Amino acid sequence: MARDRVVIVGTGIAGLVSAFALAARGLEVTVLERGAAPGGKMRQIPIGTSRVDSGPTVFTMRWVFDELFAASGRNFADHVRLRPLDVLARHAWDAQARLDLFADEARSVEAIGDFAGPAEAARYRAFCRDSKRIYDILEQPFLRAALPSMGGLLGSGGIRGLLRLPQIKPFSSMWSALSSYFHDPRLRQLFGRYATYCGSSPFQAPATLMLVAHVEREGVWSIEGGMHFLAQALAGGAETFGATIRYGQDVAEVLTSAGRACGVRLANGERISADAVILNADVAAVAGGLFGSGTRRAAAAIPREARSLSAITWSLVANTEGFPLRRHNVFFSRDYAAEFDDIFARERVPGEPTVYVCAQDREADAIAGAAAEKLLVLINAPANGDRHGYDAAEVERCAQRAFGVLERCGLRIDRQPQMTQATTPADFNRLFPATGGALYGRSSHGWTASFQRPGARTKIPGLYLAGGSTHPGPGVPMAALSGRSAAASLIADLVSTSPSPRTAMRGGMSTR
């Protein structure tokens, strides 16, 4: 029997999840990727003889992948080896002030008590309780929903829904909410940083994003072989279910016939027909006409001022000394408000940035010896990579500021030019065109922003969107949820529109 044919553009995590889910259901899946390897932002950069994870490094919400694999009769843990981290992250403000957060809440309470006193520790407990409540309220009607609306959120609980609205804190900024939990400004800074996981400023994002703190407390895992291995495992899994993945293929246009998506045209002129198409590119590229003017209307444009954060990253292999690194480390700037003001109001790299360092050879509590180690150093930056060039001199000035913050906190990194590769907003804009280098789609500024991300279905029948710039938002597990949602919507539509579905679909699929 002929099978329904699906073309997926992009092997970001969302595209891979869609491919995995649809191929497992027996559809004929072709995935087209411009790059040479799967993963999109989840990429590795070769440095010397090593490969450094240069995109996401913090893996959370593993249940998303447990469910994906289980739905196709597989066990995630058999394919991807995960190790839970005991220390979630080490935070530093100077050479003395350090605070670790632990997966075990009681240990974090104790550490916060030692760091900032028992009253702050008690307030941290309240923060944990409230961030968990936000997550619990939103998991079903928002994270797992194909396309949520405020009406839907409230309607699902009737009058109870209305009463619960203040509990998800949509109308106060994260910063002001944190000020009521924590009197110590360093703790506000630490927990405010979770807004940046969604590419946003804690001064403008709603306090609802406190739920990210809960997500992290639920567990952070390291992946054997690095985060990029997750992309390889998904790509390999999709292939074993029969998907074809072609690398080095630049898709120039989504083809339509009688108003319905019917395939794609590659930049080299090749046409591939399909019954449905999933685009895993950034929404900004779709709205910007990079897939043809006919498909612009599939997504609303993201105004420049609504772009999320970009970053400057340094992927390097180097010796370090002076600071006991954990796997995840954050070194804070002295003026958080000025940092976000620089990025969002002045569109410039912060004068003094907060610096994240992922020491990738360090598992859980283990401290590596004197050998050179794989590091990703990251600072947040404005998404102006389509208007600003970032020449070598500027990148070096930024490096001096970032590595200067590390030195102020006691960490010296022996940075060798031949063992270091920087990536700027201009580079990210080249990798993810039309974004300016924004890495998380639209920023989550203001309480309505989360409802402005498009869902999987578009105005063009047969065309679906998936990725971190769509609902439910950025981050590896969230983008994965969008990929799952695109696959589920596509199957539901094929079943409902086809008089006699061509595909003998295996198994069942739901969006939850």
Ligand X SMILES: Cc1cc2nc3c(=O)[nH]c(=O)nc-3n(C[C@H](O)[C@H](O)[C@H](O)COP(=O)(O)OP(=O)(O)OC[C@H]3O[C@@H](n4cnc5c(N)ncnc54)[C@H](O)[C@@H]3O)c2cc1C
Please give the residue ranges that form the binding site for ligand X (CB under 6 A). Answer: 9-15, 32-35, 40-42, 55-58, 249-251, 280-281, 311, 313, 378, 432, 439, 467-468, 474-476, 479
How far apart (Å, rounded) are the C-alpha atoms in residues 191 and 312?
Answer: 22
Give least dist CB 386 to ligand X, A: 15
Q: Which two tokens stand for residue 495?
A: 């079943």
DSSP state of 440: S
* Residue whose CB is less far from ligand X, 25 or 328: 328
Instruction: List the one residue out of 276, 312, 327, 282 whose CA is nearest residue 300.
Output: 282
Give least dist CB 453 to ligand X, A: 11
Query: What is the maximal distance between C-alpha atoms in the chain?
Result: 69
- Hey, what amino acid is at 220? V
* Residue whose CB is less far from ligand X, 251 or 494: 251
Give least dist CB 252 to ligand X, A: 7
* Residue whose CB is less far from ligand X, 56 or 263: 56
Give least dist CB 214 to ligand X, A: 15
Give least dist CB 497 to ligand X, A: 26
DSSP state of 339: H
How far apart (Å, rounded) are the C-alpha atoms in residues 260 and 277?
Answer: 10
Could you tell me where the beta strands, DSSP code E, fall in 73-160? 82-84, 87-92, 98-102
* Residue whose CB is less far from ligand X, 52 or 109: 52
DSSP state of 295: G
Give least dist CB 231 to ligand X, A: 9
Give least dist CB 426 to ligand X, A: 14
Residue 465 DSSP SS3: strand
Cα distances from 309 to residues 203, 212, 214, 271, 344, in angstroms, run 14, 17, 22, 35, 8
* Residue whose CB is less far from ligand X, 34 or 471: 34
Helices and strands in the chain, H and E counts = 16, 21
* Residue whose CB is less far from ligand X, 249 or 295: 249
* Residue whose CB is less far from ligand X, 13 or 405: 13
Q: Which two tokens stand for residue 136?
A: 């619990």
Does residue 413 come out as left (phi exceeding 0), alpha (psi in the -120 to 50 range) or beta? beta
How far apart (Å, rounded) are the C-alpha atoms in residues 482 and 146?
Answer: 8
Give least dist CB 70 to ligand X, A: 21
* Residue whose CB is less far from ligand X, 165 or 306: 306
* Residue nearest to ligand X as judged by C-beta position: 12
Give least dist CB 103 to ligand X, A: 16
How far apart (Å, rounded) are the C-alpha atoms in residues 314 and 311?
Answer: 10
* Residue whose CB is less far from ligand X, 333 or 360: 360
Whether the CB-CB separation of 26 and 502 falls below 8 Å is answered with no
The length of the chain is 512
Whether the CB-CB separation of 401 and 122 falls below 8 Å is answered with no
